[in-house]
């Protein structure tokens, strides 16, 4: 039993056989959450390693010019010796002049083709994170009292939510709509639109004010909100509110979970590439009140405890003249989708419970499934970002395991986990829960400082879904830790099951912004309870 407790954070509770409803005759149970993710490198799939190198080669055409450079410039000869060999026709070891000019022509042609085929750089000019007003701020105890006041939960359900909150890593200054304390139905279009207007327009107003860009200048708009998708769409609501231009390319992403913010950035990039000298705005959010679950199924009560109000708005540009004022440059996006697997597909699933209440059902295998998706994603990302020394050590470990996989020496040898701290200065990992962050730190051998932004965001703002990685970057900026040339890794994961990564390179030292959601509390972090 003691060994089992080391693996489980919540014990499986058998509730017997369902006697009625759509699940009649099936076994029902409460959620079990593993304390430990699977070790990432114990079972690395080589096809994802090869996929990473495939991306690297596709983006490294210039490497083909290296042999030409070596040939032309003499492989270590002094400048005087090289020119003597070129022009001194009496030297037996001299170079043929026609060959030299042919090599130079190939070199110039290769460089020209590379520069012409190279896509325009995508710059992040600025971003904003919405900070709700204090009248919707709640402590953990106030959250439970709001749930009690609504009259929708029995004492067992309230006590379950209280226990989840105590170990969640969430603090006493998060934000929820006051409507969740109402005995009435909160999952209405009116409540959803009211919350959407507050968070989306709040973030966009700040973004346009900080950047100086007018709404009419924006050529691409991508908005992602997983669970609230009215008609007209939320992206149409934004266009109507700001009176944006009629030929704007607008997209509304729904049902894509907590990792949708990176998918939205990827889509905005794809739209900017064929449309030069343009701006793109990416809005990421989730509606809390609209998705409030009023039932008793414990696997559906978990999202109530974690998700909080939040929204981010990001301004991207592919205009070359924005190079001087950009904060970051987009380097890589790697997306991983495990939806072909049935377990992964149903790990986070929206459905009705036995009382016909709609909610998000969280699988007892979620952490294990998420760990597999994360492992796949970072294995693909590794060849793009890791220094050569780490790649050689990692690849050598894989070859050793392949050659001696069944031997005794292989059983005793620990797998080599690449040190991602050599590739990135800053980490913004989706603030899903304290357990997930702890296990990611253990698996990737990260320091407390590496995950400080994620833990601080979870504590101060809760799980704000797809916008959480931007609250984390805002934390790093408020601490003035981002310097010129630093690389930032944002990683998010969610329903589908998906795990996505985006890598940014800082274009300049980022000073503490005048508008930032952390300004009134950043000096209190990090806290001991992390």
Distance CA 168, CA 33 (A): 12
Per residue in 1-59, pLDDT (tens digit) is 333 333 334 443 445 555 555 455 554 444 444 445 555 544 555 444 544 554 554 44
Residue 59 catalytic?
no
Residues 400-423: what's their mean pLDDT? 65
Q: CA-based diameter of the chain, in Å? A: 100
Helix, strand or coil, per DSSP, at residue 471:
helix
Residue 463 catalytic?
yes
User: Which is the catalytic residue, given 258, 311, 428, 499?
Assistant: 258
pLDDT band of 530, cuts 50, 70, 90: low
Distance CA 163, CA 288 (A): 20
Q: What is the pLDDT at residue 471?
A: 98
Residue 42 catalytic?
no
Per residue in 101-155, pLDDT (tens digit) is 777 787 787 777 766 666 789 999 999 999 999 999 999 999 999 999 999 999 9
Q: Determine phi and psi for 453, rounding to 5 degrees.
A: -65, -40
- What is the helix (H) or strand (E) element at residue 137, kind and residue range? strand 137-138
Q: Report CA 7 to chain centroid distance, whole Å.
A: 26
* Length, in residues, of the chain: 530
- Please give the DSSP secondary-structure letter assigned to residue 212: -
User: Which is the catalytic residue, given 278, 311, 318, 430?
Assistant: 430
- Residue tagged 């003035």 (tokens): 480
Residues 381-405: what's their mean pLDDT? 79
Q: Do residues 1 and 22 make contact, with C-beta atoms less than 8 angstroms apart?
A: no
Q: How far apart are the first and last CA of the chain?
A: 28
Residue 135: name the closest of 171, 83, 190, 173 by CA: 173
Distance CA 316, CA 211 (A): 11
- What is the helix (H) or strand (E) element at residue 279, kind and residue range? strand 279-285
User: Which is the catalytic residue, given 278, 459, 500, 516?
Assistant: 459
Per residue in 205-261, pLDDT (tens digit) is 999 999 999 999 999 999 999 999 999 999 999 999 999 999 999 999 999 999 999
- Residue tagged 């040190």 (tokens): 419
For the ranges 15-19, 187-191, 396-400, which has the lowest average pLDDT? 15-19
Residue 332 catalytic?
no
Question: Could you give the C-alpha distances from 391 to 27, 383, 419, 500, in angstroms and in order?
Answer: 47, 7, 10, 21
Distance CA 506, CA 23 (A): 52
Distance CA 404, CA 240 (A): 63
Find the DSSP H helices in 93-182: 97-117, 140-150, 155-166
Distance CA 272, CA 266 (A): 10
Task: For residue 449, count other CB atoms closer than 10 A to its CB.
Answer: 12
Pairing assessment for the beta strands 279-285 and 218-225 based on DSSP bridges: parallel
Residue 225 catalytic?
no
User: Which is the catalytic residue, given 311, 426, 500, 516?
Assistant: 426
Q: Do residues 317 and 278 make contact, with C-beta atoms less than 8 angstroms apart?
A: yes
User: Which is the catalytic residue, given 224, 252, 443, 463?
Assistant: 463
Distance CA 321, CA 366 (A): 45
Structure tokens that stand for 515 in this block: 């508008």
Beta strands (DSSP E) in 2-101 are 14-17, 27-29
Selected residue with higher pLDDT from 390 and 206: 206
Q: Do residues 495 and 452 make contact, with C-beta atoms less than 8 angstroms apart?
A: no
Q: Do residues 314 and 124 make contact, with C-beta atoms less than 8 angstroms apart?
A: yes
Per residue in 428-441, pLDDT (tens digit) is 999 999 988 998 89
User: Which is the catalytic residue, given 59, 241, 332, 337?
Assistant: 337
Distance CA 68, CA 104 (A): 8
Distance CA 463, CA 258 (A): 9
- Could you give the count of Cα atoms lying within 13 Å of 393 in the half-sphere of its Cβ? 12
Residue 241 catalytic?
no
**CB-based contacts of 89: which residues, under 8 Å, 6+ apart?**
none
Q: How much of the chain exceeds pLDDT 70, in percent?
A: 77
Residue 309: name the closest of 408, 212, 194 by CA: 194
């Amino acid at each position: 039993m003691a060994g089992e407790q080391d693996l489980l954070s919540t014990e499986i509770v058998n509730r017997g056989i369902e006697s009625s409803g759509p699940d009649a005759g099936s076994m029902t149970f409460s959620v079990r959450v593993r304390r430990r993710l699977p070790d990432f490198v114990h079972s690395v799939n080589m096809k994802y390693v090869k996929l990473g190198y495939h991306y690297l080669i596709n983006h490294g055409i210039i490497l083909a010019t290296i042999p030409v450079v070596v040939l032309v410039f003499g492989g270590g000869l002094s400048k005087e010796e090289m020119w003597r060999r070129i022009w001194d026709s009496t030297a037996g070891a001299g170079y043929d002049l026609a060959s030299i000019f042919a090599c130079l022509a190939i070199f110039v042609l290769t460089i020209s083709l590379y520069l012409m085929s190279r896509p325009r750089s995508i710059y992040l000019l600025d971003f904003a994170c919405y900070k709700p007003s204090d009248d919707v701020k709640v402590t953990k105890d106030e959250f439970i009292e709001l749930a009690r006041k609504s009259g929708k939960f029995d004492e067992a359900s309230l006590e379950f939510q209280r226990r989840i909150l105590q170990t969640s890593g969430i603090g006493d200054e998060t934000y929820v709509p006051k409507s969740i304390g109402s005995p009435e139905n909160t999952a209405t279009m009116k409540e959803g639109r009211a919350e959407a207007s507050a968070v989306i327009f709040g973030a966009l107003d700040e973004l346009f004010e900080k950047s100086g860009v007018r709404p009419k200048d924006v050529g691409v708009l991508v908005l992602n909100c997983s669970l609230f998708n009215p008609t007209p769409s939320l992206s149409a609501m934004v266009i109507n509110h700001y009176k944006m231009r009629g030929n704007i390319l607008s997209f509304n992403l729904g049902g894509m979970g907590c990792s949708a913010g990176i998918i939205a950035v990827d889509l905005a990039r794809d739209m900017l590439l064929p449309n030069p000298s343009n701006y793109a705005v990416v809005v990421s959010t989730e509606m809390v009140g609209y998705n409030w679950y009023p039932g008793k199924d414990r696997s559906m009560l978990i999202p109530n405890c974690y998700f909080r109000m939040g929204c981010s708005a990001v301004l991207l540009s592919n205009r070359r003249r924005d190079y001087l004022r950009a904060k970051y440059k987009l380097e890589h996006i790697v997306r991983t989708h495990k939806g072909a697997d049935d377990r992964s597909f149903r790990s986070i699933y929206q459905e009705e419970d036995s009382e016909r209440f709609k909610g998000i059902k969280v699988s007892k295998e979620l952490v294990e499934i998420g760990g597999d998706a994360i492992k796949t994603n970072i294995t693909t990302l590794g060849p793009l970002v890791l220094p050569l020394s780490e790649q050689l050590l990692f690849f050598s470990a894989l070859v050793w395991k392949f050659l001696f996989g069944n031997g005794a020496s292989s059983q005793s040898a620990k797998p080599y986990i690449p040190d991602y701290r050599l590739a990135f200065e800053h980490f913004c990992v989706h603030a899903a829960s304290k357990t997930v962050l702890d296990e990611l730190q253990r698996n990737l051998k990260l320091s407390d400082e590496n995950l400080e932004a994620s833990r601080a965001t979870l504590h101060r703002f809760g799980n704000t879904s797809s916008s959480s990685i931007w609250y984390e970057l805002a934390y790093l900026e408020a601490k003035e830790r981002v310097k010129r040339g630093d690389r930032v890794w944002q990683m998010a994961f969610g329903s589908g099951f998906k795990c996505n990564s985006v890598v940014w390179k800082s274009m300049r030292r980022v000073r503490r912004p005048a508008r930032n959601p952390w300004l009134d509390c950043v000096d209190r972090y990090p806290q001991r309870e992390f």
